[in-house]
Structure 1
Amino acid sequence: MKIVLSTLNAKYIHTSLSIRYLKAYAEPEYEVELAEYTIKDPSMNIVTDLHRKKPEILGFSCYIWNIEETIKVIKMMKKINPSLFIVLGGPEVTYDTKEWMERIPEVDCIIMGEGEQSFKQLLDELHGERNFTNVSGIAFRENNSVQFKPQRNKVDLKELPSPYRFEEDISQLSKRVTYIETSRGCPFSCQFCLSSIEVGVRYFDREKIKDDIRYLMNNGAKTIKFVDRTFNISRSYAMEMFQFLIDEHKPGTVFQFEITADIMRPEVIQFLNDNAPKGLFRFEIGVQSTNDQTNELVMRRQNFNKLTRTVTMVKEGQKIDQHLDLIAGLPEEDYNSFKKTFNDVFKLRPEELQLGFLKMLRGTGLRLRAADHDYVYMDHSPYEILKNNVLSFEDIISIKQVEDVLEKYWNDHRMDETIEYLVSNVFSSPFDFFQEFGTFWDEKGWTRIGHQLEDLYKHLHDFLENAKNDDLDIVSGLMRYDYLRNQKYKPRKPWWNDALTKQERSKIYRSILDNPLILGKEFASKQLSEKDLFKHTVLETIPFNVNHYLQTGKMIEEDSIVLVHYDPIQSATSVYSAVSNELDSKVS
């Protein structure tokens, strides 16, 4: 019987680890073909491709992000071939399984929970007597009713075959994210998270995992993301893996982890700061809330002081980028409380701050006790909340406005110096800036259209001008500085009007050619010709002493001349500045 396992990933760069585990465990007795798509692919295209594979057994891995699109595909496939045996698995259908079996009559079987053994047993029965009562951990149809067989003992992770070594994956390793798992389960009981349901943590064989990582790197994998819910729950294990990755990494490879920051010891961070190459590691840290009452209600143990120590030490080490997560809508966290949470965490200045909204996942304690906090949420995936007893729908709309501009103006790092100045010196708090700007953005209708980089600068300038900001000249200077230094190539048409006339520009260039040391030794060492200056540099006036501000964070309002060199050979951008009156030779 032809077996095909499929899933719809959120993006093309993602890969499905789950269907690869099933394929690896089913081999060599059964040959399984994998077929991955994205939720953006038209359903008809997916169905057409799957039909050409002529499956007799077709499985789908289901999550909140793909279930609705998957259902469309399932219904079409069953209409085309009523004899097709369709099996589902994954966290979205593991809970409320009876409801799914009733909602999707086209589905013949659902695997509940860990699927490797259950899927193999199911294949045995489909190729044999079709006595599904012999299969553990499934729901199936028999005599016009849904039958359930509970799961048996958990699989021994140390005995699982590797899901990382399929020949057909090799050509894609450098282009897509590779997900790797070294443990299953979570020691914590956060009531909004599915991982809290599985008690205890189980580990895979360390040496086999190391061999798999070597194989992946040797075959071109660039981004390897560990899906362990708490990678650093065991300090000795984390240290061993960190040391291994430092010792054996390939240039250009990035490893990403989900860590629990408040249990990370300072000596571990110091080890990473001292030994890890810059950019090798990336940390994801779920803060979610700094409200103690909220954390207690969701059974989340968190010491924010220790978390702050960890994030600060990592940031000071300048080796590891950090992605911090917040969840709006947790119990008893109203608008003002969430504002405090946001400001508490933004104060740490993470490279990325992800603002998410509570999703009432099937099977979680929070969903089961939703009435305790008057939760109203979407009936369909992703089951995002609409309101609760302390957070109105209007509040959620306001926070979504914050999320929109936070992503564009902080997480994408398009104008770091500008945003830092605004949140530190102009607005009452970071949240106030993002909220006021987000509301303005929404009222202008910009949420519904795409934007070029120049548009983002113009929109911010429009907002500040509308707010009658006293610092508009200073901020505009910072924006011009950010814009020029973050370009890879000389911009053809900046978003502002030139302040310098052609004659003034020529005069400054002549002064620089006569004495290149006025912009410092580094600039002078480039020995740029007149042609190079006019072709590959940009001059701009900034209404404050750029060098002094970058070195001290303090503003002196005296004009600077900024020269930005776009090196066409090294594809590098260098910025030099001098005070206009003195043309001070300091490099910025």
Structure 2
Amino acid sequence: MKTVLSTLNAKYIHTSLSIRYLKAYAAPDYEVELAEYTIKDPAMNIVTDLHTKKPDILGFSCYIWNIEETIKIIKMMKKINPSLVIVLGGPEVTYDTREWMESISEVDFIIIGEGEQSFKQLLDELNGERNFSAVSGIAYRENGTVHIKPQRNKIDLKELPSPFRFEEDLSHLAKRVTYIETSRGCPFSCQFCLSSIEVGVRYFDREKVKDDIRFLMNNGAKIIKFVDRTFNISRSYAMEMFQFLIDEHKPGTVFQFEITADIMRPEVIQFLNDNAPKGLFRFEIGVQSTNDATNELVMRKQNFNKLTRTVTMVKEGQKIDQHLDLIAGLPEEDYHSFKKTFNDVFALRPEELQLGFLKMLRGTGLRLRAEDHGYVYMDHSPYEILRNNVLSFEDMIKIKQVEDVLEKYWNDHRMDETIEYLVSNVFDSPFEFFQQFGTFWDEKGWTRIGHQLEDLYKHLYDFLNNSKSDDIEIVSGFMKYDYLRNQKYKPRKPWWTDALSKQERSEIYRSILDNPLLLGEEFASKKFTEKDLFKHTVIESLPFNINHYLKTGKIIEENSFILVHYDSIQTKTIVYYGLTKDINSKVS
């Protein structure tokens, strides 16, 4: 019987590790074909492609982000071919399995939990005696009745074959994220997370993992993301892997990890600061909440002081970008408590701050005890909460308004100096800035449309004008500075009205050319002509002393200028700073 395993990824760049493990484990007895799509692909296109493969057995890996679209595909496939055997697996259908079997009559089997052995046993029976009661870890139908066979022993991870050696995957490695796991399970019991259900942590064979990583790098993989729930739970193991990756990495490869920051020892961070190449590692850290009472209610152990120490040490090392996560809607965290959580974490200035909303995942303790905290949540995936006993739906809307502008104006790093000045000097707190701007953004209807870079600057300027900020001139100076220094090519038409006339620019250019060392030896060595300056540079006036600010963080309101050279040959941008009066320049 021809077997096809499929899934709908959230984005094209994502890959499914689960179906590759199933394929590898089923070989060589069974040849399994993989078929990956995205949730954005039209359902009819997916059905058409799957039908051309002519499967007898069709399996889908199911998650909260793809279950709704997957059900549509299943129903269509079964109508086209009623004899097709449909198998589901994955975390979304592992819990409430009987409910899934009863509500989707088109599904013939569900693999419960860890699927490698169960799926192989199911293929044995489908191609043999069809005695499904002999298969552990599945749900199946017999004479109209749903039967559920629990899993037996956990699989020995050290015996699992590699899921990375398929010829058809090699050409895609450089263009997509490769997921890898070195362990399964989690030592913690956070009640909103599925990982809390599996007790204990099991490890794969270290040398096999290293061989897989070498293979992936040698075949062009650029982004390798470890899906271990807590990569650094074993300090010795983490140190061994960090050392291996430092020693054997290929230029351009990035490794991403989920780490628990408050258990990371300072000596480990110092080792990374001293030895890791810049950009090789990226850390994802789930903070979720800084409210101790909230963390206790979800059985989450967290020492925020130690977490702060870790994040600060890593940031000071300037080697590793950090992505910190928050969850709005946890038990007993009301709007004001969440505002404090946001400000606590934003104070760490992570490279990315991800604002998420609590999802009541099937099987989790929090979902089972939802009534204890008055949770009302979506009936369908992703089961996001609508309100609870301390957070109204109106509060949720306000926090959601923060999410869009946070992503565009902080996480994308389009205007770092501008945002830093706003949250530190203009608004009462970072949350107040993002909240007020997010509300303005939503009222303008900008959430529903796309935006060019210039639009983002204009929208911020409109917001500040509307809020009647006393610092509008200073902030607009920072916006010009951020805009010009972050361009790769000389912009044709900046978002603002030029403050300098062509004659004024010409006079400044000539004064610079008369004494080019004022802007440093690198600038003087280029031997620009006035024509070169007009063609390849932008000069702009700022309402404050930019040199003084960059050195001290303090504002002196006196005009200064920046000259920005866009090197079209090397595709790089060089910013020269100087005062129009007493030019005391430096090169950045």
TM-score between the two structures when normalised by the length of structure 2 = 0.99
**SS of structure 1 residue aligned to 2:469:** coil
The amino acid that maps onto 1:163 is: P
Deviation at 1:529, TM superposition (A): 2.9
Deviation at 1:509, TM superposition (A): 1.0
Structure 2 counterparts to residues 461-540 of structure 1, below 5 A = 461-540=461-540
Residue 222 (structure 2) aligns with: 222
Is it true that 1:378 corresponds to 2:373 in the alignment? no
Native 8 Å contact 1:561 1:583 kept in 2? no
Which consecutive residues of structure 2, in runs of 5 or more, have no partner in the other structure? none
Residue 186 (structure 1) aligns with: 186
Is it true that 1:205 corresponds to 2:211 in the alignment? no
Q: Distance in 2 between matches of 1:287 and 1:523?
A: 45
Q: Distance in 2 between matches of 1:462 and 1:394?
A: 25
Deviation at 1:526, TM superposition (A): 2.4
Residue 257 (structure 1) aligns with: 257
Residue 580 (structure 1) aligns with: 580
TM-score between the two structures when normalised by the length of structure 1 = 0.99
Q: Distance in 2 between matches of 1:71 and 1:203?
A: 33
Structure 2 counterparts to residues 105-504 of structure 1, below 5 A = 105-504=105-504
Native 8 Å contact 1:9 1:37 kept in 2? yes
Which shows bigger deviation, 112-121 or 573-582?
573-582
Q: Distance in 2 between matches of 1:425 and 1:164?
A: 51
Is it true that 1:33 corresponds to 2:19 in the alignment? no
Residue 67 (structure 2) aligns with: 67
Deviation at 1:577, TM superposition (A): 1.2
Per-residue CA distance 1:80-103 (angstroms, 9 max, x = gap):
000000000000000000111111
Q: Distance in 2 between matches of 1:399 and 1:531?
A: 51
Runs of 4+ deviating beyond 6 Å = none
Q: Distance in 2 between matches of 1:86 and 1:532?
A: 67
Residue 78 (structure 1) aligns with: 78
Structure 2 counterparts to residues 83-102 of structure 1, below 5 A = 83-102=83-102
Deviation at 1:516, TM superposition (A): 0.9
**SS of structure 2 residue aligned to 1:230:** coil
Q: Distance in 1 between matches of 2:552 and 2:320?
A: 24
The amino acid that maps onto 1:176 is: R
Q: Distance in 1 between matches of 2:458 and 2:368?
A: 47
Q: Distance in 2 between matches of 1:232 and 1:385?
A: 31
Q: Distance in 1 between matches of 2:393 and 2:580?
A: 52
Deviation at 1:546, TM superposition (A): 0.7
Is it true that 1:7 corresponds to 2:7 in the alignment? yes
Q: Distance in 2 between matches of 1:411 and 1:422?
A: 15
Residue 568 (structure 1) aligns with: 568
Deviation at 1:427, TM superposition (A): 0.4
Structure 2 counterparts to residues 44-55 of structure 1, below 5 A = 44-55=44-55
**SS of structure 1 residue aligned to 2:174:** coil
Q: Distance in 2 between matches of 1:60 and 1:186?
A: 25
Deviation at 1:435, TM superposition (A): 0.5
Which shows bigger deviation, 204-213 or 446-455?
446-455
Q: Distance in 2 between matches of 1:517 and 1:382?
A: 60
Native 8 Å contact 1:406 1:434 kept in 2? yes
The amino acid that maps onto 2:93 is: V
Residue 541 (structure 1) aligns with: 541
Deviation at 1:262, TM superposition (A): 0.1
Q: Distance in 2 between matches of 1:568 and 1:37?
A: 39
The amino acid that maps onto 2:65 is: W
**SS of structure 2 residue aligned to 1:581:** coil
Q: Distance in 1 between matches of 2:447 and 2:323?
A: 24
Native 8 Å contact 1:547 1:587 kept in 2? no
**SS of structure 2 residue aligned to 1:324:** strand
**SS of structure 1 residue aligned to 2:175:** coil
Q: Distance in 1 between matches of 2:59 and 2:38?
A: 16
Per-residue CA distance 1:277-331 (angstroms, 9 max, x = gap):
0000000000000000000000000000000000000000000000000000000
Per-residue CA distance 1:203-240 (angstroms, 9 max, x = gap):
00000000000000000000000000000000000000
Per-residue CA distance 1:378-431 (angstroms, 9 max, x = gap):
000000000000000000000000111101100000000000000001100000
RMSD over equivalenced CA pairs, Å: 0.6
Residue 16 (structure 1) aligns with: 16
Per-residue CA distance 1:244-270 (angstroms, 9 max, x = gap):
000000000000000000000000000
Per-residue CA distance 1:511-568 (angstroms, 9 max, x = gap):
1122111212222222223332111110100111111111111111111111000101
**SS of structure 1 residue aligned to 2:494:** coil
Number of residue-to-residue matches in the alignment: 588
